[in-house]
Chain A
Amino acid sequence: MAKTETFSVVGQRVNRVEGYDKVTGGAKYVADIVLPGMLVGRILRSPYPHAKIVKIDTRKAEKLRGVKAVVTAEDTIKQGWGAFFPDQYPLSVGKVRYVGEEVAAVAAIDQDIAEEALGMIDIEWEELPAVFDPEQAMKEGAPLIHEGKERNIAMTLDVERGNIERAFAESELIVEDTFESTPQWHCAIETIGSVAECSPSGKYTIYMNTQTLFMARYRIAAALGVRETDVRIIQSAVGGGFGGKSCDDNNAIVCALLARKSCKPVNIINTREEEFLAGSRPRVNMNIWAKMGFKKDGRIRAKQLRIIADNGAYSGKAPAIAGVAALRHDTCYKYSDVKTQAYLVYTNKIPTGAFRGFGNPSAEWAVEQIMDKAAHNLGIDPLDLARMNAADPGYVSPHGNRVTSCELRQCIDLVEKMMDWKGKRAQKKPNRGLGLACTVHVSGKRHFGDYDGGSATIKVNEDGKALILSGEGEVGQGAATAMCQIAAEELGLPLEDVEISRADTDMTTFCLGAFGSRVTYVGGNAVKDAASKVKQQLLDTAAEMLEARQEDLAAANGKIFVRGSETRSVTVAQLARARLFRRGGAPIVASGSFDADSVLQDATRYGNESGAYNFGCQAAEVEVDPETGQVKVLKYVAASDCGTVINPIGAEGQAEGSVAQGLGYALIEGLKMEDGRPVNPNFSDYRIPSMRDMPPLEHAFADSYEPTGPFGAKGLGELGMDPTAAVISNAIFDAAGIRIKTLPITPEKVLKALKAVSNQEPTRKVKLKADG
Chain B
Amino acid sequence: MVKFEYLEPTSLKEACALLDQHPDDAKIIAGGTALIIWMRMRLLNPRLVISLEKIPDFNYIRYDDKDGLRIGAGARHREIELAPAVRSHYPLLHETFRKVAQPRIRNMGTVGGNLCQGDPLTDPGASLMALDAEVTLTHSKGKRTLALEKFFVDYYQTDLQPGEILTEIHLPPSIKPLGWSHIKFTPRSVEDFATVGVALTLRAQKDTCEDIRLALNSVAPTILRAKRAENVLRGKKISDGLLREMGETAATEVDPMDDNRGSAEYKRDMVKVLVRRAAQEALQRISLQL
Give 6 nearest A-B pairs by CB, closest first: A668-B188, A748-B266, A687-B188, A747-B187, A627-B273, A687-B189
Contact of A746 among B262, B269, B270, B274 (CB under 8 A): B262
B12-20, B67-75, B190-198, B230-238 - the one binding chain A: B190-198
Which residues of chain A are near B259, meaning CB under 8 Å? Answer: 685
- Does the CB pair A684–B193 fall under 8 Å? yes
- Does the CB pair B189–A690 fall under 8 Å? yes
Contact of B102 among A627, A630, A690 (CB under 8 A): A690
Which residues of chain B are near A679, meaning CB under 8 Å? Answer: 260
Asked if B185 lies at the interface with its beta carbon under 8 angstroms from chain A, I say: yes
Which residues of chain A are near B260, meaning CB under 8 Å? Answer: 672, 679-680, 685-687
Q: How far is the CA of A751 from the CA of B267 in the complex (A)?
A: 12
Q: Could you tell me the distance in whole angstroms from the C-beta of B93 to the nearest C-beta in chain A?
A: 21
Q: How far is the CA of A751 from the CA of B185 in the complex (A)?
A: 15
Contacting A at CB under 8 A, from B237-289, are 259-260, 262-263, 266, 269-270, 273-274
Asked if A692 lies at the interface with its beta carbon under 8 angstroms from chain B, I say: yes
- Does the CB pair A689–B269 fall under 8 Å? no
Contact of B262 among A680, A687, A748 (CB under 8 A): A748
Interface size on B, residues (CB 8 A): 20
Which residues of chain A are near B3, meaning CB under 8 Å? Answer: 112
Known A628-B185, A689-B189, A693-B190; 11 more pairs at CB < 8 Å: A112-B3, A668-B187, A680-B260, A687-B188, A687-B260, A690-B102, A690-B191, A692-B191, A746-B187, A748-B263, A751-B266
Which residues of chain B are near A628, meaning CB under 8 Å? Answer: 185, 187, 270, 273-274
- Does the CB pair A693–B189 fall under 8 Å? yes
Asked if A688 lies at the interface with its beta carbon under 8 angstroms from chain B, I say: yes
Which residues of chain B are near A667, meaning CB under 8 Å? Answer: 188
- Does the CB pair B188–A112 fall under 8 Å? no
Count the A-B residue pairs with Cβ separation under 8 angstroms: how many?
49
Q: Could you tell me the distance in whole angstroms from the C-beta of B34 to the nearest C-beta in chain A?
A: 11
Which residues of chain A are near B188, meaning CB under 8 Å? Answer: 667-668, 687
What does the 1/0 interface line of A615-637 toward B look like (CB < 8 Å)? 00000000000011110000000
Which residues of chain A are near B102, meaning CB under 8 Å? Answer: 690, 692
A-B contact pairs, 11 of them (CB 8 A): A629-B187, A630-B185, A630-B187, A672-B260, A684-B193, A685-B259, A686-B260, A687-B260, A689-B189, A746-B187, A746-B262
Q: A627-B273, A628-B270, A747-B262 are in contact. Are A112 and B189 (CB under 8 A)?
A: no
Q: How far is the CA of A684 from the CA of B260 in the complex (A)?
A: 10
Q: How far is the CA of A679 from the CA of B189 in the complex (A)?
A: 19
Q: Could you tell me the distance in whole angstroms from the C-beta of B33 to the nearest C-beta in chain A?
A: 11
Which residues of chain A are near B2, meaning CB under 8 Å? Answer: 112
Q: How far is the CA of A103 from the CA of B2 in the complex (A)?
A: 24
Q: How far is the CA of A679 from the CA of B185 in the complex (A)?
A: 22
Which residues of chain B are near A685, meaning CB under 8 Å? Answer: 259-260
Q: Could you tell me the distance in whole angstroms from the C-beta of B211 to the nearest C-beta in chain A?
A: 27
Q: How far is the CA of A680 from the CA of B193 in the complex (A)?
A: 14
Nearest to B192 among chain A residues (CB) is A687
Q: How far is the CA of A628 from the CA of B278 in the complex (A)?
A: 14
Q: How far is the CA of A572 from the CA of B210 in the complex (A)?
A: 85
What does the 1/0 interface line of A359-378 toward B look like (CB < 8 Å)? 00000000000000000000
The interface of chain B, by Cβ under 8 A from chain A, is: 2-3, 102, 185, 187-193, 259-260, 262-263, 266, 269-270, 273-274
The interface of chain A, by Cβ under 8 A from chain B, is: 112, 627-630, 667-668, 672, 679-680, 684-690, 692-693, 746-748, 751
A interface secondary structure, majority = loop
Q: How far is the CA of A685 from the CA of B260 in the complex (A)?
A: 6
Q: How far is the CA of A667 from the CA of B187 in the complex (A)?
A: 9
Which residues of chain A are near B187, meaning CB under 8 Å? Answer: 628-630, 668, 746-747
Which residues of chain A are near B274, meaning CB under 8 Å? Answer: 628
Q: How far is the CA of A630 from the CA of B183 in the complex (A)?
A: 14
Q: How far is the CA of A706 from the CA of B241 in the complex (A)?
A: 64
Q: Could you tell me the distance in whole angstroms from the C-beta of A708 to the nearest C-beta in chain B?
A: 41
- Does the CB pair B190–A690 fall under 8 Å? yes
Contact of B189 among A688, A748, A751 (CB under 8 A): A688
Q: Could you tell me the distance in whole angstroms from the C-beta of A256 to the nearest C-beta in chain B?
A: 27
Q: How far is the CA of A689 from the CA of B193 in the complex (A)?
A: 14
Q: How far is the CA of A128 from the CA of B121 in the complex (A)?
A: 38
Q: How far is the CA of A668 from the CA of B262 in the complex (A)?
A: 11
The CB with the most chain B CB atoms within 10 A, among A680, A686, A746, is that of A746
Nearest to A744 among chain B residues (CB) is B188
Q: A627-B273, A628-B185, A628-B273 are in contact. Are A692 and B190 (CB under 8 A)?
A: yes
Q: How far is the CA of A533 from the CA of B195 in the complex (A)?
A: 61
Q: How far is the CA of A672 from the CA of B190 in the complex (A)?
A: 21
Q: How far is the CA of A630 from the CA of B266 in the complex (A)?
A: 12
Which residues of chain B are near A686, meaning CB under 8 Å? Answer: 260
Q: How far is the CA of A112 from the CA of B45 in the complex (A)?
A: 13
Nearest to A627 among chain B residues (CB) is B273
Q: How far is the CA of A112 from the CA of B193 in the complex (A)?
A: 31
Nearest to A750 among chain B residues (CB) is B187
Q: How far is the CA of A374 from the CA of B262 in the complex (A)?
A: 32
Q: Could you tell me the distance in whole angstroms from the C-beta of B229 to the nearest C-beta in chain A?
A: 18
Which residues of chain B are near A692, meaning CB under 8 Å? Answer: 102, 190-191
Q: How far is the CA of A289 from the CA of B206 in the complex (A)?
A: 59
Which residues of chain A are near B270, meaning CB under 8 Å? Answer: 628
Q: How far is the CA of A746 from the CA of B190 in the complex (A)?
A: 15
Which residues of chain B are near A748, meaning CB under 8 Å? Answer: 262-263, 266
Which residues of chain B are near A751, meaning CB under 8 Å? Answer: 266, 269
Which residues of chain A are near B193, meaning CB under 8 Å? Answer: 684
Q: How far is the CA of A301 from the CA of B256 in the complex (A)?
A: 50
Which residues of chain B are near A112, meaning CB under 8 Å? Answer: 2-3
Q: How far is the CA of A112 from the CA of B3 in the complex (A)?
A: 8
Nearest to A684 among chain B residues (CB) is B193
Q: How far is the CA of A688 from the CA of B191 in the complex (A)?
A: 10
Q: How far is the CA of A85 from the CA of B188 in the complex (A)?
A: 37
